[in-house]
Amino acid sequence: MKEKIIRLKNIIRGPICGALTLGLIALNTLFWCSLLFFMAFLKFIIPQNSWRAFCSRILNGLAAGWVGVNNAIQNLTMNTRWVIHGMDSYNRGGWHLVISNHQSWSDIFVLQRIFFRKIPFLKFFIKKELIWFPIMGQAWWALDFPFMKRYSKALLEKKPHLKGKDIEITLKACEKFKEIPVSIMNFVEGTRFTPQKRDALQSPYINLLHPKAGGISYVLMAMGRQLDKILDVSIIYPDGPASFWSFLCGKIKTVVVKINAISVPEYLVGDYSQDEALRDKIQTWLNALWAEKDKILGAEKALTA
């Protein structure tokens, strides 16, 4: 029976598989979001801290249900082999900061899958404009995802009163995270990797873009001593670049994930906004981490070349 299922998956692999997977995920999203929005409404209309904390736990549970069904859909329509290293090297409870390389939207589904019910629900830093993204934007708001507003240097020169607003937003979001265990996820490269972006941005790495320390620095400033671990994740697609559509179509035969659990360095915890020396330390630490990650990605790709 198992062999028949595998053969069927191989037959439908391609656009049919992609359309089926996408359709099922869309239906799953609509179902769970209807429950999510109802609970978010109840949370909003009763301004009592204990009630809102209770609602937040329910909301996180609903979001976990969404991820669980998405995983089941992928098992049904895809035939991907998952190779995961380092899954047992960290405390599965408590608070975590998760950082990862970023290649496509597939990365989000990969992270949600491998950490499902292993650590608290992943919450991402999201551009403020995405709050208007249909259904998902409102769901992210209901789940207390931190929405970030980036200000250019030119704008800050014209409107200096906006300086520090991004830090203020991050700290406010992290205050909510202190009440309930959470995993804060950050793609520190800031955008998806492509060879073209690497060359244009003059990245010193072969398989990565230059990491940006700002996002994780704010988290360390707000929650550094509360975090149990920093989980440094390396996502590798040995078959080549993994577009989201290729992922949905079942064309990604293998996904390799390597997790490095790191204790929070005490010397990195402090007021990032005021301490220039601390900013340099965090960036230096992150650069060294990314240099090692670049070697890991390169070695894994060499094995399958």
Q: Taking a C-beta distance cutoff of 8 angstroms, is the pair 185, 111 a contact? A: yes
* DSSP assignment of 229-276: EEEEEEEE-TTS---HHHHHTT---EEEEEEEEEPPPGGG-S-TTT-H
Q: Taking a C-beta distance cutoff of 8 angstroms, is the pair 285, 265 a contact? A: yes
pLDDT for the residue numbered 151: 62
pLDDT for the residue numbered 148: 74
Dist CA 187 CA 112 (whole Å): 14
pLDDT for the residue numbered 172: 75
- What is the chain's alpha carbon radius of gyration, rounded to the nearest angstrom? 20
Pairing of β 254-262 and β 229-236: antiparallel
Dist CA 302 CA 288 (whole Å): 21
Alpha helices in the chain (DSSP H): 2-12, 15-45, 49-77, 106-114, 136-142, 153-158, 165-177, 195-200, 214-223, 244-248, 276-304
Amino acid at residue number 153: K
Token output for 166: 């991004």
pLDDT for the residue numbered 89: 63
Sorted by sequence, the CB contacts under 8 Å of residue 116 that are 6+ apart come out as 64, 67, 68, 71
Query: Residues 273-303, buried b or exposed e (16+ Cβ, 10 A)?
Result: beeeebbebbbebbeebbeebbebbeebbee
Reduced to 3 states, what is the DSSP secondary structure of residue 144? coil
Q: Could you say which residues of the chain have pLDDT below 50? A: none
pLDDT for the residue numbered 188: 92
Size of the chain in residues: 305
Please tell me the number of Cα atoms within 13 Å of 73 on its side-chain side.
23
Q: Is 156 exposed, middle or buried (0-12, 13-18, 19+ CB in 10 A)?
A: middle
Q: Taking a C-beta distance cutoff of 8 angstroms, is the pair 21, 74 a contact? A: yes
* DSSP assignment of 160-191: GGGTTHHHHHHHHHHHHHTTS--EEEE-TTSS
Token output for 114: 């491998």
Domains defined along the chain, listed by start:
80-304 (3.40.1130)
